[in-house]
Amino acid sequence: MRFLPNLPKKWRCNRPTADHLSGVCSIFDLIPDRNIVGAVSNSFQQNFLSQLITYGDLTGSPPFVTHGLPASIFKKGVQVAALDPASARSPADVRADIRAGKIRGHTSGMAHGFVQANLVILPKPWAEDFLQFCLANPKPCPLVAVGKPGDPALPTLGPGIDIRTDVPKYCILRDGQPVGESHDITDLWGDNFVSFLIGCSFSFEGALIDAGLEVRHIALDRNVPMFRTNIPCEPAGRFSGNLVVSMRPFQALDAIRAVEVTSRMPQVHGSPVHIGDPSRIGIIDVTQPDYGDSVPVADGELPVFWACGVTPQLAIAQARPPIAITHSPGCMLVTDIRDESLLDGDFRFEPGPI
Amino acid sequence: MRFLPNLPKKWRCNRPTADHLSGVCSIFDLIPDRNIVGAVSNSFQQNFLSQLITYGDLTGSPPFVTHGLPASIFKKGVQVAALDPASARSPADVRADIRAGKIRGHTSGMAHGFVQANLVILPKPWAEDFLQFCLANPKPCPLVAVGKPGDPALPTLGPGIDIRTDVPKYCILRDGQPVGESHDITDLWGDNFVSFLIGCSFSFEGALIDAGLEVRHIALDRNVPMFRTNIPCEPAGRFSGNLVVSMRPFQALDAIRAVEVTSRMPQVHGSPVHIGDPSRIGIIDVTQPDYGDSVPVADGELPVFWACGVTPQLAIAQARPPIAITHSPGCMLVTDIRDESLLDGDFRFEPGPI
């Protein structure tokens, strides 16, 4: 164990997770009198911690710990910022604040290292078709949980979850079209409503940064660029539509590494669906996304395309169910599932009949 | 279990391993009165067995069995060819014939499903540097075994192996340059000679075909195209040089699958080192390989480049050891290690000091 310069010796880095040579930033929860616990962030700029990581102990893998204390960001051993206290908080604490109305917006960066999930709620007759659509299209719609009809609990994602109150903002759709937003859907809830929780790219982006890759839109502090493609989804019942993809540019060797990393996370979209020439999947101009923000593709970089969680929203717009409820973009369900457990197989979702 | 049309019911396909929708060929050992045992071939043309596989039972995974009987190839249930008897023979039987001088050429297609390995033999003072070179460059030089100085046995690769007699043809190099070939190096063997066995792309090509991909040079019955690159290897002691790569073209989705498949086989070169634009790694014309045969890259395909076992030969030519012995191209050591055990981690090589 080596200790950090300009930091108390008791602040140790036991488990750095980013490639310190790449200059990619990781956030470490720096907790006085405790180990420094690594948690990859996808919401901060590069280079904050490269020096800190360099001096960390690159071996060892203690259990993941989060803590209620605000943590700090150091640059070359000097404190430059305090971490959002929510980053080091437990998923249960974040959900409690959401339920109490204290958090009503984006959940990005909260409860670092835990899976956040997309939400789709449908009445049972539509839910049966939608389950088949998800199972037939696991890359855009990787299920992490399906609720029981009428039951707002999701015990496999966290004790005490009430899906009617534990998402910061909901989007209400009638006949497939958005008609309004709400912070609480208790009044709308029906006794045959089924919740679908779908894996989210936050987890695999964390893993990419963890592997030392620069994720362009995060480095630029933008939303990921997303595109409609000409790739049809497998239809199921009343649901059909084309695949929506997100794009992240990489140099070839990093693109290969990105395939390796994400292939191990099938429950958060898995490996890419396309690499290289965007026109092959019906994208005319890779700098003009249909959703999200544009990011530059540098000379020699390959655009890499992953199946995107916006796909089911298009399928819902096409199917026109009388009512559907989704999360508002970025306002996710924060679960108790660790990102890591997607990699090591600790967490697996096995769908049954609704 | 469904049975094959036009075949005795006792010939069953318990374990087809290729994607029967893709039309890619797998060879099955068809053994009367026994199960048909799947063994992916990389030496036959497409479409032979697609109909056969279609009618096979796509579930179940009995133990891998090979058998001394010649097997047959069926097309749509009609026998169209007999398999080379050597394909269904055990590695020990193949080695015995090599040692007896009955096999003096290529080992391609023999003992299907078992790892074949590249050979480099060096005197101990050079072997120590070369071991470091392999460890520093695991993608081009993935070690599967290192012999003890002076000891021609390789017990982890098969009982009774004598590396002086069990390779069909050897290439002798003095001062890094080839000076002759031999079928037996017993007379040349020195009491400080160290054998290095290096994983070979035969294994990962089998896995690619297994995954339903077309491997172009195999489909065309050509040698794989290989190129010198501008990527320097990590030097170690007296060994250095640029990386040599092999190239296989794929449509984007198949390229992604190829990364996934080969990333799980680090002991036979692992994942690619480059994808897309050949000029990025110093290749001027992808249709003009430095070694092997040219294969076409079709419209919309990406050339995918893997680290190649020719790399150490360049390093030896550069280092100019007074003596070195390698296998002649294609004339490999046939081991008792199953290709599968590279995937499931049954087989692992842990290098120690020489």
CATH number for the domain that contains residue B311: 3.30.2040.10
Is B103 a domain residue?
no
CA B110 to chain centre: 11
How high is the pLDDT of residue B197? 97
What the block records as the tokens of A161 is 């979850």
Which of A252, A260, A273 shows the shortest C-beta gap to B274?
A: A252
Q: What is the 3-state secondary structure (H, E, C) of chain B?
A: CCCCCCCCCCCEECCCCCCCCCCCCCEEECCCCCEEEEECCCCCCCCCCHHHHHCCCCCCCCCCCCCCCCCEEEECCEEEEECCHHHHCCHHHHHHHHHCCCCCCCCCCCCCCEEEEEEEEEEHHHHHHHHHHHHHCCCCCCEEEECCCCCCCCCCCCCCCCCCCCCCCEEEEECCEEEEEECCCCCCCCCCEEEEEEECHHHHHHHHHHCCCCCHHHHCCCCCCEEEEEEECCCECCECCEEEEEEEEEEHHHHHHHHHHHHCCHHHCCCCCEECCHHHHCCCCCCCCCECCCCCCCCCEEEEEEECCCHHHHHHHHHCCCCEEEECCCCCEEEEEEHHHHHCCCCCCCCCCC
**Nearest chain B CA: its distance from A283 CA (Å):** 14
Indicate if A51 and A62 belong to the same structural domain: yes
Cα nearest neighbour of B281 on chain A: A252
Q: How many CA atoms lie within 13 A of B1 on its CB side?
A: 12
Is B295 a domain residue?
yes
Contact A274 B252 (CB under 8 A): yes
Contact B252 A280 (CB under 8 A): yes
pLDDT for B6-50, tens place per residue? 333 223 333 333 332 222 233 344 433 333 333 333 223 222 332
pLDDT averaged over chain B?
Answer: 79
Residue range A39-68: average pLDDT?
28
Indicate if A287 and A214 belong to the same structural domain: yes
pLDDT for B123-136, tens place per residue? 999 999 999 999 99
CA A107 to chain centre: 10
Indicate if B50 and B175 belong to the same structural domain: no
Which of A272, A280, A300 shows the shortest C-beta gap to B256?
A: A272
Residue of B130, B45, B34, B126 lying closest to B81 (CA atoms): B45
Report chain A residues whose CB lies below 8 A from the CB of B275. 252, 255-256, 275-276, 302
CA A216 to chain centre: 16
Contact A253 B273 (CB under 8 A): yes
Most confident of A6-20, A29-43, A254-268: A254-268
Indicate if B20 and B140 belong to the same structural domain: no
pLDDT for A247-298, tens place per residue? 999 999 999 999 999 999 999 999 999 999 999 999 999 999 999 899 999 9
Indicate if B216 and B75 belong to the same structural domain: no
- Does residue A19 surpass a pLDDT of 70? no
Q: Are strands B72-75 and B114-123 parallel, antiparallel or unpaired?
A: unpaired
pLDDT for B40-63, tens place per residue? 332 232 223 322 332 233 222 222
Name the DSSP letter for residue A82: E
Indicate if B191 and B305 belong to the same structural domain: yes
Indicate if A55 and A108 belong to the same structural domain: no
Cα nearest neighbour of A275 on chain B: B252
**Nearest chain A CA: its distance from B279 CA (Å):** 10
Contact A260 B263 (CB under 8 A): yes
- Does residue A2 surpass a pLDDT of 50? no
Is B98 a domain residue?
no
Q: Predicted confidence band at B351 (pLDDT cuts at 50, 70, 90)? A: confident
Indicate if A207 and A67 belong to the same structural domain: no
Contact B280 A272 (CB under 8 A): no
Is B352 a domain residue?
no
What the block records as the tokens of A234 is 């497998």
Q: Predicted confidence band at A77 (pLDDT cuts at 50, 70, 90)? A: very low
Is B262 a domain residue?
yes
Report chain B residues whose CB lies below 8 A from the CB of A273. 253, 256
Higher pLDDT, B267 or B67: B267
Most confident of A45-49, B76-80, B237-241: B237-241
Report chain B residues whose CB lies below 8 A from the CB of A276. 252, 275-276, 302
B115, B144 in Cβ contact below 8 A?
yes
Q: Does B301 touch chain A (CB under 8 A)?
A: no
Q: Predicted confidence band at A86 (pLDDT cuts at 50, 70, 90)? A: low
Q: Does B255 touch chain A (CB under 8 A)?
A: yes
pLDDT for B63-121, tens place per residue? 222 222 334 444 334 444 444 555 668 899 999 999 999 999 888 878 878 999 999 99
Q: Predicted confidence band at A42 (pLDDT cuts at 50, 70, 90)? A: very low
Is B245 a domain residue?
yes
Is A250 a domain residue?
yes
Contact B280 A259 (CB under 8 A): no
Indicate if B146 and B242 belong to the same structural domain: yes
Cα–Cα dist B223/B229, whole Å: 19
B108, B301 in Cβ contact below 8 A?
no
Domain range holding B264? 114-347
Restricting to A residues 264-283, those with a Cβ less than 8 Å away from any Cβ of B are: 271-277, 280
How high is the pLDDT of residue A18? 35
Indicate if B131 and B239 belong to the same structural domain: yes
pLDDT for A59-71, tens place per residue? 222 222 222 233 4
Across-strand partners of A172? A180, A325
Quick one: what percent of chain A has pLDDT higher than 70? 75
Backbone angles phi, psi at B247, to 5 degrees: -125, 135
pLDDT for A286-330, tens place per residue? 999 999 899 999 999 999 999 998 999 999 999 999 999 999 988
- Does residue A202 surpass a pLDDT of 90? no
How high is the pLDDT of residue B18? 35
Indicate if A260 and A302 belong to the same structural domain: yes
Report chain B residues whose CB lies below 8 A from the CB of A256. 259, 271-275
Q: Are strands B72-75 and B78-82 parallel, antiparallel or unpaired?
A: antiparallel
Is A5 a domain residue?
no
Which of A263, A276, A300 shows the shortest C-beta gap to B252?
A: A276
pLDDT averaged over chain A?
Answer: 79
Cα–Cα dist B45/B311, whole Å: 29
**Nearest chain A CA: its distance from B27 CA (Å):** 28
Indicate if A162 and A106 belong to the same structural domain: yes
Contact B255 A263 (CB under 8 A): no
pLDDT for A158-172, tens place per residue? 999 999 999 999 999
Q: Does B345 touch chain A (CB under 8 A)?
A: no
Cα–Cα dist A338/A64, whole Å: 9
Domains contained in chain A, number: 3
- Does residue A129 surpass a pLDDT of 80? yes
**Nearest chain B CA: its distance from A260 CA (Å):** 6
- Does residue A181 surpass a pLDDT of 50? yes
Which of B252, B256, B276 shows the shortest C-beta gap to A252?
A: B276
Pick the range with the lowest mean pLDDT from A44-58, A318-332, A338-352. Answer: A44-58
Residue range B166-191: average pLDDT?
97
**Nearest chain A CA: its distance from B278 CA (Å):** 11
Which of B253, B275, B300 shows the shortest C-beta gap to A252?
A: B275
Across-strand partners of A35? A12
- Does residue B189 surpass a pLDDT of 60? yes
Residue range A188-209: average pLDDT?
92
Contact A275 B275 (CB under 8 A): yes
Contact A271 B260 (CB under 8 A): yes
CA A92 to chain centre: 17
Last residue of a domain, one of B53, B72, B88: B88
Last residue of a domain, one of A47, A72, A88: A88
Structural element, H or E, at residue A161 = none
Q: Are strands B12-13 and B35-39 parallel, antiparallel or unpaired?
A: parallel
Report chain A residues whose CB lies below 8 A from the CB of B302. 275-276
The residue assigned the tokens 């991909």 is B213
Size of interface A-B (CB pairs under 8 A): 55
Report chain B residues whose CB lies below 8 A from the CB of A300. 277, 280
**Nearest chain B CA: its distance from A288 CA (Å):** 21
Which of A259, A277, A302 shows the shortest C-beta gap to B260?
A: A259
